[in-house]
Structure 1
Amino acid sequence: MPVKRPGRDAVPNMTDYDAERARFRWEVPQRFNAVLDILERRAEQSPDELALVTLRRDGGVTASYTFRELNLASRRMGHALAGIGVGKGERIFVMLPRIAEWYVALLGAIRIGAVPVPGTPQLTSRDIEYRVDRAEAVAVITDTDGAVKVDKLTDRLPTLAHRVVAGTAPSAGWHTMDGLLARASEGPTPVDPTAADDMMLIYFTSGTVSYPKMVAHTQASFGLGHMVTARYWQDLRPGDLHWTLSDTGWAKAAWSKLFGQWAQGATVLEMDLGKSDPDLILDTIERHGVTTLCAPPTLYRSLVVADLASYDLSRLRHCVSAGEPLNPEVIRIWEEGTRGLVVHDGYGQTETVNVLANFRCLPVRSGSMGKPVPGFDVDVVDDDGASVSVGDEGNVAIRVEPERPAGLFTGYWRDPDATAAAFTNGWYFTGDKARRDEDGYFWFEGRQDDVITSSAYRIGPFEVESALVEHPAVIEAAVVGQDDPDRTQIVTAFVILHPDAAPSPQLAEELQDHVKRLTAPYKYPRRIHFVSDLPKTVSGKIRRGELRDRLRGTTQT
């Protein structure tokens, strides 16, 4: 019998914030595997309850899996990967859209101790080459479009021994995922494949002064860690149908589409969205009875422009947002349009699980990052790790000594200098600036580095600058984020041209197309300013902060 979906009157999982904070202790076993200890156990306890529903771009159902069915699919995938020679600890580059195969691929790899390296389908062949090479991936799992991109790199990926396509193979040398699964066993895989501190996932960050770094997460840090994300912030429970609108290439997908939600007994909804369509999204919420929604601020801004009153959103009971602070006005319109639903902002990074949040059991402070999640000691500190006074700006930091919390990455893989810079004086420094008010709520002030947040994408300027200077007309370039009411920021470039090149709208468009070809399309500069020089420090580093200040003082478009 299907589990009844909870309504808006459901009692929060956490009813007393201070008591839960005092009570909470991380319990991390020595041996742990997220697939076996969460999905397989849930399949034994509730085999016929829905774990995953996937939709086409028009809203029609493409697949649905009970916990038993998804567990068996992950077994087949694990056997299939082992059968072609993928072993424990080896990296698999996974680049798939929002389809069921993404889940099966990741779950199959994780259950045998292999390490998926997710990437967004928007990546170019150049992006793929960098990621496969840096991670020394032995296998790739992608769709037909991705396989075509990989085929362009045939002689440049020496570690890549296995190629799997979800769809039609564009050339010889590819295994089809359907073919592998059809021949694979549904029997148990190794019963004790991983320790809790074995690596489970690698995500690439956005680069600021270098190419993207590799964030290493263990079985415990993301498998166990995201239980607090799902339990406290998302407030999930059996019967919930949870929808997170996030690309599969971003860590937000692991935040809200994998283990934490299933540990709570919720069903995950996935939709192969193209360009976000507010009316399609609202229609999907109504038609399928979505109960909990997680979306970036950019999407909420577009949803509140739609005619909310024309949709029946009565089964929607809890809404959360992350990525950047959500405007109080958007929160107000959404609350009015949904007849009482307040968006609960949360905060975390690729390097963490949810560590700050507005919770159902506490008053929401619109625009704030919320309070620390149980299990985390988060503070606003100076550069030496000392707490700053209430109301003063400082570094958002997570205490890691004397006890390191689960839910925190182990470090930047194969980058000891970056790891050492992030972990100092007993704290993990997030790189974000904030202030804390007298009631313990955190308020975001900005990034310490130069990462650009645009339409929920995090973009490092270095990659865009590197692409620009490869154009023969460009001598030097600097890239910053310019404030934008719809996208939070837009990528903006300042370009010094070769003496033989002349500024023009045509050249600006040519440079934009050039960047789109060399790197993921969402990274291209939407505005280009041709300049004769760039502000620099005495050591020659570009002063991006000065460029951002210059943009805030100009109306140039």
Structure 2
Amino acid sequence: MKLLLKLQNLKLLWTLKPLNRTFHGHPRLLSSDVYSLYESIRQGKQEIPKYFNFASDVLDKWSEIEKAGKRPSNPAFWWINSEGEEVKWSFEELGFLSRKVANALTKECGLQKGDRLILILPRIPEWWLVNVACMRAGIVIIPGTSQLSAKDILYRLQASKAKSIITTDKLAPAVDSVASQCHLLKTKLMVSKGSREGWLNFTELYQNQSADHSCIKTSIQDPMIIFFTSGTTGFPKMTQHSQGSLGFRPLLSERYWLDLTPSQMIWTTADTGWILTSIASFFDPWVFGSCIFIHNLPQTDSEVILNTLCRFPIDALVGAPTLFRMLVQNDLSKYKFMNLKYCMSGGEPLNPEVMEQWKSQTGLDIHEVYGQTETGIICSVFKGMKIKPGSMGKAAPLYDVQIIDKNANILPPGQQGEIAIRSKPKRPLGFFSEYLDNPKKTAESERGDFYVTGDRGTMDEEGYFQFIGRNDDIIISSGYRIGPFEVESALIEHPAVVETAVVSSPDPLRGEVVKAFVVLSPTFSSTDLKSLIRDLQDHVKKTTAPYKYPRKVEFVKELPKTVTGKIKRNELRDKEWGRI
């Protein structure tokens, strides 16, 4: 049997015959034939398959293994909320329910392969069901956060030309307020116990459907998901990913950052509108047959999170830096985690002092991952790797990551430049396909043989990367180039500071100076602010290079953020420079 045919029959992938090989100290769970096959693809000796569908080629294979009794009794999906409700699905149950949803979308809503559906749901089981169902039907999913406003929804509906939308009764009025301006929108589905005029009840619709559905044949290059970028600069852009870029990529990347097994469970606290949820709470765990754990978390409550880690056998925790900054504010000695062994942080750099506090109180390291909507994970601190404070690890498999200058020349270790990924002569599988309807932006993302991330950083002699800041976040003061993250990291060490953002501010002598916007801890709210400013400035001078200290400090109640929780430094900077 030819290797390519073996690849298309991915059932072989989960022959749980251990090899006498390890990856970062952990045993492989792939058969020798499959390992040889993927090695040949990674080395360019074998082509990737022409056709691939994550639902049929991954999830349904795990269902078969499950029915054959060759997978641990771990659920595939485990959801809870604070009211005591609970949902558990096996891979077989996930397949049964998602086929019913696929029939509802195609037969009742008239959606076909290539049609686009906007999915705006909080962390509820239906989000996962709809994702799988859309893959079965070849429908392109467009995730969105539940914090979107009516204006945001209008922009997404019009830009994407979506024919359908699924959301909750909470957002249904916002959709109705703009629907008349969206002439391509044909069906509206509401996840709710009630009803609303002009809307189909999602639960009733799919429960009445047959579970007999044949998964559509999709090319590995067919569009699967469109993410709207966070919009830190300009209007959000549509970033399209294919069946291969998110679904097939983890098959070739081994166990490079999650390193889970079918008996383990992962909890990702990211919002459902963010690519990290798709990667860390959908594709990558399910490739390895692991259980995805979800708490609906309507609000990010540190006590709820810590108690959940104590009550449930969660092996891996993934969250934004804000999560860990919040958790270390608690007395962690009061909590005994049931099973937690592996913690990961992504979305933006994590302050080294937070990592140290977490380690000292829990005994656990935090492994950083770095990526973008366009590329997925670019760098990570693999399990078993040496952790260097302030570093986001090494390049992920499949990616040749370099630091380049403005002429696309590779810079030597230690020299600051742009973080870039080699994209020519062959575009890596994990890449987005394009910025939809924006060929100019797509072209601008390439420089020479590289895709440029727009982030600045350095790489050391061992191949570890360090993030410095966005290109447009760099502060140049008296000829010195200052990245805001280092100043923010210094400030966050001070007990008065809960959160901070650093931007440039105009100065007649130096051109620009560092300005810090600071959210104070409640215990410092009545402090002598002038004295506190001096104290913060002195602290930064002692913690980092003196020229980086904030010459201006402004105390604010909160920082402006995108819907994904990233700080809008550009908004603060524009106000400083009188642009808005």
TM range (shorter): 0.7 to 0.9
Alignment-derived partner of residue 176 in structure 2: 151
SS at the partner of 2:456?
strand
**Change in 2 beyond 3 A, CA 1:32/1:449:** farther
Q: After superposition, where does 1:264-413 map in structure 2 within 5 Å?
A: 264-313=288-337, 315-339=339-363, 341-413=364-436
Separation of aligned partners in 1, 2:575 and 2:407: 39
Query: Is 1:218 aligned with 2:242?
Result: yes
Alignment-derived partner of residue 31 in structure 1: 51
How far the C-alpha of 1:76 sits from its partner, in A, is 0.9
Alignment: residue pair count: 475
Alignment-derived partner of residue 64 in structure 2: 44
Greater relative contact order, per chain length (Cα 8 Å cut-off, separation 6+)? 1
2:121 counterpart (67, 83, 96)? 96
| 2:195–2:201 CA contact under 8 A, matched in 1 | no
Alignment-derived partner of residue 199 in structure 2: 174
| 1:492–1:527 CA contact under 8 A, matched in 2 | no
SS at the partner of 1:154?
helix
Segments of 5+ residues of structure 2 without an aligned counterpart are 1-20, 28-34, 68-72, 475-486, 493-497, 507-556
Alignment-derived partner of residue 80 in structure 1: 104
| 1:230–1:261 CA contact under 8 A, matched in 2 | no
How far the C-alpha of 1:403 sits from its partner, in A, is 2.3
Q: Using the TM superposition, name which of 25-34 and 142-151 deviates more.
A: 25-34
How far the C-alpha of 1:235 sits from its partner, in A, is 1.4
How far the C-alpha of 1:375 sits from its partner, in A, is 1.5
SS at the partner of 1:38?
helix
SS at the partner of 2:210?
coil
| 1:244–1:269 CA contact under 8 A, matched in 2 | yes
Separation of aligned partners in 2, 1:528 and 1:34: 39
**Change in 2 beyond 3 A, CA 1:106/1:210:** same
How far the C-alpha of 1:207 sits from its partner, in A, is 2.7
Alignment-derived partner of residue 71 in structure 1: 95
Q: What is the CA deviation profile of residues 346-369 of structure 1, one whole-angstrom value per residue up to 9, with x for unaligned ones?
A: 111111121211112321112101
How far the C-alpha of 1:252 sits from its partner, in A, is 1.1
| 2:418–2:452 CA contact under 8 A, matched in 1 | yes
2:218 counterpart (185, 194, 197)? 194
Alignment-derived partner of residue 25 in structure 2: 15
Separation of aligned partners in 1, 2:116 and 2:572: 41
**Change in 2 beyond 3 A, CA 1:450/1:225:** farther
How far the C-alpha of 1:268 sits from its partner, in A, is 0.3
Segments of 5+ residues of structure 1 without an aligned counterpart are 1-10, 452-481, 495-511, 536-541, 545-557
Q: What is the CA deviation profile of residues 403-434 of structure 1, one whole-angstrom value per residue up to 9, with x for unaligned ones?
A: 22211111111100000000231211111110
| 1:228–1:354 CA contact under 8 A, matched in 2 | no
How far the C-alpha of 1:393 sits from its partner, in A, is 0.6
Q: Using the TM superposition, name which of 125-134 and 519-528 deviates more.
A: 519-528
Separation of aligned partners in 2, 1:521 and 1:413: 21
How far the C-alpha of 1:107 sits from its partner, in A, is 1.1
SS at the partner of 1:336?
helix
How far the C-alpha of 1:524 sits from its partner, in A, is 10
Query: Is 1:489 aligned with 2:501?
Result: yes
SS at the partner of 1:46?
helix
How far the C-alpha of 1:126 sits from its partner, in A, is 0.5
Alignment-derived partner of residue 476 in structure 1: none
Q: Using the TM superposition, name which of 294-303 and 205-214 deviates more.
A: 205-214
How far the C-alpha of 1:117 sits from its partner, in A, is 0.5
SS at the partner of 2:179?
coil
Percent of residue pairs identical: 34
SS at the partner of 1:194?
coil
**Change in 2 beyond 3 A, CA 1:532/1:137:** closer
Q: What is the CA deviation profile of residues 228-263 of structure 1, one whole-angstrom value per residue up to 9, with x for unaligned ones?
A: 678211211111110011000111111111121111
How far the C-alpha of 1:204 sits from its partner, in A, is 0.4
Q: What is the CA deviation profile of residues 478-533 of structure 1, one whole-angstrom value per residue up to 9, with x for unaligned ones?
A: xxxx9573445389999xxxxxxxxxxxxxxxxx99x99xx969799899999999
1:418 counterpart (421, 441, 448)? 441
**Change in 2 beyond 3 A, CA 1:523/1:157:** farther
Amino acid at match of 2:115: E
How far the C-alpha of 1:36 sits from its partner, in A, is 1.2
Alignment-derived partner of residue 274 in structure 2: 250
Q: What is the CA deviation profile of residues 427-479 of structure 1, one whole-angstrom value per residue up to 9, with x for unaligned ones?
A: 1111111001111110101011469xxxxxxxxxxxxxxxxxxxxxxxxxxxx
SS at the partner of 2:170?
helix
Separation of aligned partners in 2, 1:234 and 1:394: 29
TM-score computed with the length of structure 1 as normaliser: 0.78
Query: Is 1:437 aligned with 2:449?
Result: no
Alignment-derived partner of residue 188 in structure 2: 163
**Change in 2 beyond 3 A, CA 1:116/1:438:** same
| 1:91–1:139 CA contact under 8 A, matched in 2 | yes
| 2:100–2:213 CA contact under 8 A, matched in 1 | no
Separation of aligned partners in 1, 2:575 and 2:351: 37
How far the C-alpha of 1:170 sits from its partner, in A, is 5.2
| 2:227–2:373 CA contact under 8 A, matched in 1 | yes
How far the C-alpha of 1:215 sits from its partner, in A, is 0.3
| 1:147–1:170 CA contact under 8 A, matched in 2 | no
Alignment-derived partner of residue 167 in structure 2: 142
Separation of aligned partners in 1, 2:440 and 2:177: 33
**What RMSD, in angstroms, separates the aligned Cα atoms of the two structures?**
3.4
Separation of aligned partners in 2, 1:344 and 1:44: 33
| 1:40–1:71 CA contact under 8 A, matched in 2 | yes
Separation of aligned partners in 2, 1:151 and 1:169: 16
Separation of aligned partners in 1, 2:466 and 2:569: 29
Separation of aligned partners in 2, 1:419 and 1:330: 36
How far the C-alpha of 1:144 sits from its partner, in A, is 0.7
